[in-house]
């Protein structure tokens, strides 16, 4: 694997190999600190994301790499430099990988066509967030052993969610069934063709779920009239305590963070017995070590 631009198109065996490596890293793979010794990995975050950036940084350090963090505020980007010029300039400093977070879907694909080093997509627009999907799948696999035949319900703003797209590709590749649920205005066309079941009736599908993933709802979507109010969204699509009671006893609750407590997920559920949200964060570093190891090899 030369780049990690998305989950779409990866084979099941590629994904499983990454998860297997992540498992080894989670147990402290003894030789790992030599893997990228003397190498440089560059974080290019054109959009703020402390959590993902830090997670990649920790993963790189654990493999012995130096990390260059390019902050885009006040940089040449704000002076009008193009994405490609920025990427080529940073590439000229010699990193083995560029980790790119960008608000435009496809930005890492554009860069990957024009640089020689590896490109890792750390979230592009509303397209994909592959390392997040891998850590979600990893979290589920550690609980379940395998995902085949399991049903994962993803709730909320699917239209604008790169997490939803990457998870849809990843979970279906691993044999799980994916149900996407949200207001019709936030369910774009063609999701069925990607292998999902699509519905706006949360209470009907809730009891079938082996895992529920709540997506972050952005307040600006309310002002864009995708839904009338946070309150109404919460009433129709929020994972509140009453709904959590109707989950299967063993069902898992995930959230990619950061959470709007009280909107898409109730505090009691986020911190409750079903929740694996903090496991997700912890697993992120192991999964990203595996990703760096594979693309920088």
Partner 1 sequence: MKPTTVLLRRGRVIDPRHGVDGVRDVLVRDGRVAEVSEAPLEAPPDAQVVDAQGRWVLPGFIDLHVHLREPGEEGKETVLTGSRSAVAGGFTAVVAMPNTKPVNDSVLVTEYVKAKAREAGLCRVYLAGAITKGLQGEEMAEMGALVAAGCVCITDDGRPVMNAGLMRRALQYATQFDLPVMVHEEDLTLSGKGVMHEGPTSTRLGLIGIPPSAEVAMVARDLVLLEETRGRLHVAHVSCEGSVRLIREAKRRGLRVTAEATPHHFTLEDEAVGDYDTHARMNPPLRTRHDVLAVREALADGTIDAIATDHAPHGVLEKQVEFDKAWNGVVGLETALGLTLAAVREGALSLTRAVALLSDGPAKAFGLPGGHLAVGAPADITVVEPDVEWTVDATRFFSRSRNTPFHGRRLTGRVAQTWVGGRLVFENGQTKESRS
Which positions make up the binding site for L-aspartate?
A: 79, 162, 216
Please give the helix or strand (H or E) that residue 172 lies within, else none.
helix 162-173
Q: Which is nearer to partner 1, 3 or 289 (CB)?
A: 3
DSSP 41-80: EEEEESS--HHHHHHHHHHHHHTT-EEEEEE-TTSGGGGT
Residue 189 interacting with partner 1 (CB under 8 A) = yes
- CB–CB of 227/233 below 8 Å? yes
d(CA 53, CA 58): 9
- CB–CB of 10/65 below 8 Å? no
Annotate each residue in 51-90 with x if it binds partner 1 (CB under 8 A) or - if it does not, as one string. Answer: -------------------------------xxx------
Stretch that binds partner 1, among 19-27, 90-98, 105-113, 142-150 (CB under 8 A): 105-113
| Min separation Cβ 128 and partner 1, Å | 7
Terminus-to-terminus CA distance in the chain, angstroms? 9
| Min separation Cβ 123 and partner 1, Å | 10
Residue 3 interacting with partner 1 (CB under 8 A) = no
- CB–CB of 126/159 below 8 Å? yes
* Sheet of strand 97-102, all strands in order from the earlier edge strand to the far edge: 66-71, 40-45, 97-102, 118-124
| Min separation Cβ 172 and partner 1, Å | 13
Residue 106 interacting with partner 1 (CB under 8 A) = yes
Q: Judging by DSSP bridges, how do beta strands 211-214 and 151-155 pair with one another?
A: parallel
3-state class (DSSP) for residue 36? coil
| Helices 50-62 and 130-144: angle between axes, nearest 10 degrees | 70
Residue 191 interacting with partner 1 (CB under 8 A) = yes
Residue 188 interacting with partner 1 (CB under 8 A) = yes
Q: Which is nearer to partner 1, 64 or 125 (CB)?
A: 125
Residues 4-33 that bind partner 1 (CB under 8 A): 8
Residue 128 interacting with partner 1 (CB under 8 A) = yes
Q: Which is nearer to partner 1, 187 or 251 (CB)?
A: 187
Please report, to the nearest 10 degrees, the dihedral formed by the alpha carbons of residues 199, 252, 270, 130 taken in order: -70
d(CA 105, CA 188): 15
| Min separation Cβ 257 and partner 1, Å | 19
Among 24, 72, 77, 194, binds partner 1 (CB under 8 A): 194
Specify the length of the chain in residues.
297
Q: Binding-site residues for carbamoyl phosphate, please?
A: 51-52, 101, 129, 132, 257-258
Q: Which is nearer to partner 1, 162 or 243 (CB)?
A: 162
Among 116, 193, 223, 225, binds partner 1 (CB under 8 A): 193
d(CA 208, CA 155): 14
Residue 195 interacting with partner 1 (CB under 8 A) = no
Residue 157 interacting with partner 1 (CB under 8 A) = no
Q: Binding-site residues, please?
A: 51-52, 79, 101, 129, 132, 162, 216, 257-258
Binding site for partner 1 (CB under 8 A): 8, 82-84, 102, 104-107, 109-110, 124-128, 162, 165, 188-191, 193-194
């Amino acid at each position: 694997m030369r780049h990690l631009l998305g989950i779409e198109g990866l084979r099941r065996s590629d994904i499983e190999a990454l998860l297997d490596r992540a498992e080894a890293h989670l147990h402290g793979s003894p030789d790992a600190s030599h893997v990228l010794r003397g190498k440089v990995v560059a974080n290019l975050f054109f959009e703020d994301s402390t959590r993902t950036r830090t997670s990649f940084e920790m993963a790189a350090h654990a493999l012995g790499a130096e990390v260059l963090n390019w902050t885009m505020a006040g940089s040449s980007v704000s002076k009008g430099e193009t994405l490609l010029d920025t990427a080529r300039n940073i590439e000229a400093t010699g990193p083995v990988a560029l980790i790119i977070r960008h608000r435009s879907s496809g930005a890492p694909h554009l860069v990957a066509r024009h640089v020689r080093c590896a490109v890792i997509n750390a979230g592009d627009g509303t397209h994909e967030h592959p390392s997040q999907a891998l850590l979600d799948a990893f979290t589920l696999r550690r609980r379940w052993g395998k995902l085949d035949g399991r049903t994962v319900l993803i709730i909320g703003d699917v239209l604008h969610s790169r997490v939803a797209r990457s998870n849809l590709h990843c979970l279906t590749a691993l044999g799980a069934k994916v149900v996407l649920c949200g207001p019709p205005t936030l369910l774009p066309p063609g999701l069925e063709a990607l292998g999902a079941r699509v519905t706006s009736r949360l209470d009907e599908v809730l009891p079938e779920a082996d895992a529920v993933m709540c997506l972050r709802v952005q307040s600006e979507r309310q002002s864009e009239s995708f839904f009338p109010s946070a309150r109404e969204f919460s009433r129709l699509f929020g994972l509140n305590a009453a709904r959590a009671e109707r989950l299967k006893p063993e069902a898992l609750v995930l959230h990619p963070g950061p959470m709007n407590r009280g909107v898409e997920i109730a505090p009691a559920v986020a911190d409750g017995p079903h929740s694996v949200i903090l496991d997700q964060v912890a697993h992120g570093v192991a999964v990203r070590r595996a990703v760096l190891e594979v693309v920088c090899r």
